[in-house]
Amino acid sequence: MFAMCSVVAAFVLPTRNFPAVRTRSSSIVLQHSKGWDGFGKGEFKFYDGFEKFMTPFPDEDRVQFPEMFRLPENVYEVSLERPLGIAFEEVAPGKGVLVDYLVEGGNAEKSGVIKPGDVLIAVTAIKVFGARWERKLLPAKFMEFDQIMGAVGSNEPRWGAKDVILQFERPGADQQKVAEFQKFFEIPYDHVFRSQ
């Protein structure tokens, strides 16, 4: 199963309360796991790339955990305008997507980075809660195809999103290091609606 990424859909996630998460040596509370009292506020309201996301963290963390301040080997992040120009294919039924092919002349091909076979591990999505909203980086590796397309489509200009940010892993990426990175990075798996 594959489809072009030009979906325009709302991506509204269910509301829950989440415990505060702190870095090991700093007092920064990540807004995506602080709970709904901080939702739509603070430095982490709008994910605009890995480097910008990591700027609030103290130098002490950079020294103690340098591997967390760079993407793992064979993992990369790319910002693309829509339509993406990517044909995705499911990795397994109901579990993640990989790049089947790039549309000739499309935004993904023009990026010069994305290749067929790359697996999508995270994607930005707009989350709306009442009158407040955030753009978060959500885990995509185990999401269903339609959820991923909804996340892509939710990055609309009305929310200040002029692009979609995607993280991919190349074949041969160290799965343990990628899993450790995502766990430390606190990508909010518990914010993703999973169908039963």
CB burial of 75-98 (b: ≥16 within 10 Å; e: otherwise) equals bbbbebebbbbbbbbbeeeeebbb
Residue-wise pLDDT for 1-17, tens only, equals 333 333 323 333 333 33
Residue-wise pLDDT for 75-125, tens only, equals 999 999 999 999 999 999 999 999 999 999 999 999 999 999 999 999 999
Separation of CA 124 from chain center: 4
| Distance between CA atoms of residues 179 and 121, nearest Å | 10
Give the pLDDT confidence score for residue 41 in this predicted structure: 64
Residue 102 lies in a domain: yes
| Distance between CA atoms of residues 5 and 11, nearest Å | 15
* CATH code of 52's domain: 2.30.42.10
Residue 169 lies in a domain: yes
What predicted TM-score, i.e. pTM, was given to this entire model? Answer: 0.76
| Distance between CA atoms of residues 180 and 20, nearest Å | 19
Residue 17 lies in a domain: no
Structure-block tokens of residue 95: 């579990």
Residue 192 lies in a domain: no
Number of domains the chain is built from: 1
Residue-wise pLDDT for 137-155, tens only, equals 988 998 999 999 999 999 9
Domain that includes residue 112, residue range: 2-6+22-187
Residue 151 lies in a domain: yes
Residue-wise pLDDT for 35-83, tens only, equals 445 565 677 889 999 999 888 889 998 899 888 889 999 999 999 999 9
CB burial of 118-149 (b: ≥16 within 10 Å; e: otherwise) equals bbbbbbbbbbbeeeebbbbbbbbbebbbebbb
Tell whether the model's pLDDT for residue 160 goes beyond 80.
yes
Average pLDDT, whole number, for the chain? 78
Residue 11 lies in a domain: no
Residue 45 lies in a domain: yes
Tell whether the model's pLDDT for residue 184 goes beyond 70.
no
Residue 103 lies in a domain: yes
Pick the more confident residue, 128 or 168. 168
